[in-house]
Amino acid sequence: MTTELRTGEAVAPAGGIVRSPAAAVPLRTPLVRRIPWTLLVFIVMATVPWLGSRYDTFLAAQIVIDALFAVSLNLLLGTTGLVSFGHVAYFGVGAYVCGILMKTYGVPFVIAFPAAGLGAALFALVSGYFCVRLIKLYFAMLTLAFSQIVWAICYKWNSVTGGDQGVPEIPYPHLHWMLSLPGCGDLSIGDRFYLLALVLVAVSLAVVHRIVRSPFGRVLTTVRDNPERAAFLGINVRAYQLASFVVAGGFAGLAGALYGIFSRGVFADYVFWSKSAEVIIMAILGGMEFFWGPPVGAAALVWLNQAITDYTQYWPFVLGTILLILLFVFPGGIVGGLVAGFRLIQRVGRRRLSPRHA
């Protein structure tokens, strides 16, 4: 009669079975991975209008919108491997399209919001057609050139964009229906718009996450890692890069539409190149190799910016110093550092359970 041995069991000299200490501990999914972090963060963010002040709601709204903007950039930067210095152009196009439609033509938000994403995606299609024909630094500089063209148009086309005066006093969407919801009767219009923006951003992030995890997203990572090999396998590299460019531009436009309403106006400064540098910092600071890295980076940068400006007039110097320290301490971003620390704890725990340390 033969005895089948399972992993972690050994035959004793007398013929019995000895279990190693490591086998005595069942393999389970770590508790950290079983916690629905995304749902918990969404619930916490949704309670801000009730538990926090108006300033907290203002800060949370800016973080939520910047998170979508940063994730849209990371679809190019982290997933496709394209460094864009002009991503703010699509953010601005979406802001202007939504703002002009709502204020000048009285178009309802339910139409103006998707129109902003569509308008930004169409402009990304046109500009991306030329950008993807270049590589690396030349690609980045061409995106910056398109961004400056958009800024010049917004700054000079007074009859449409308002020039340096912009498009002020963009109205809030009609959100009276939210007053009938439980617990929302006493919320201000700003609080109700924050909740609407939170839901729209959550849906948008879910769509982007699905795109990244889809076969289309896997092809983009293949193009990022080795475009020559991808072309050898029959993949149309430029077509996939252009598709990624269009999708990223569309979601940036949605973020811009929300930001224009949030700030109650759209101005030419929104499409200046420095805004692109800001969102790149968000993606790198949070960890562009992780999907949730850019939102974490957006939250960190917005919070640091607001906190430091309250204490010193030399906030650019202090903020830059803190960012340098964070990037040196966490070369893979904040999320990358947390993941590395969690894996280190796991390795230490496994060593303690191994037979050598029994």
What pLDDT digit, counting tens, does each position of 235-246 carry?
999 999 999 999
Q: Is residue 97 part of a domain?
A: yes
pLDDT confidence tier of residue 82, bands split at 50, 70 and 90: very high
How many domains is the chain built from? 1
- Secondary structure class of 18 (helix, strand, coil): strand
Q: Is residue 309 part of a domain?
A: no
pLDDT at 28 (0 to 100):
55
User: 320 vs 45, which has greater pLDDT?
Assistant: 45
Q: Is residue 312 part of a domain?
A: no
- pLDDT one-digit tens code per residue, 265-298: 999 988 888 888 899 999 999 999 999 999 999 9
User: 106 vs 273, which has greater pLDDT?
Assistant: 106
- In the DSSP assignment, the letter for residue 271 is G
pLDDT confidence tier of residue 325, bands split at 50, 70 and 90: confident
Q: Is residue 3 part of a domain?
A: no
Q: Is residue 343 part of a domain?
A: no
Q: Is residue 128 part of a domain?
A: yes
- Model confidence, pTM: 0.87
| 125 HSE (CA, 13 A, CB side) | 7
Least confident of 72-76, 90-94, 165-169, 199-203: 165-169
Do 70 and 259 contact (CB within 8 A), yes or no?
Answer: no
Q: In DSSP terms, which residues pair with 10 in a beta bridge?
A: 18
Going by C-alpha positions, the residue among 320, 318, 345, 323 that lies closest to residue 334 is 323
The domain of 74 spans 28-273
Q: How high is the mean pLDDT of the chain?
A: 87
Q: How far is CA 45 from CA 50, 143, 257, 297, in A?
A: 10, 34, 20, 16
Going by C-alpha positions, the residue among 301, 215, 295 that lies closest to residue 251 is 295
Q: Is residue 50 part of a domain?
A: yes
In the chain, % of residues over pLDDT 70: 89
- pLDDT one-digit tens code per residue, 332-347: 889 988 888 888 887 8
Q: Is residue 220 part of a domain?
A: yes
Do 138 and 258 contact (CB within 8 A), yes or no?
Answer: no
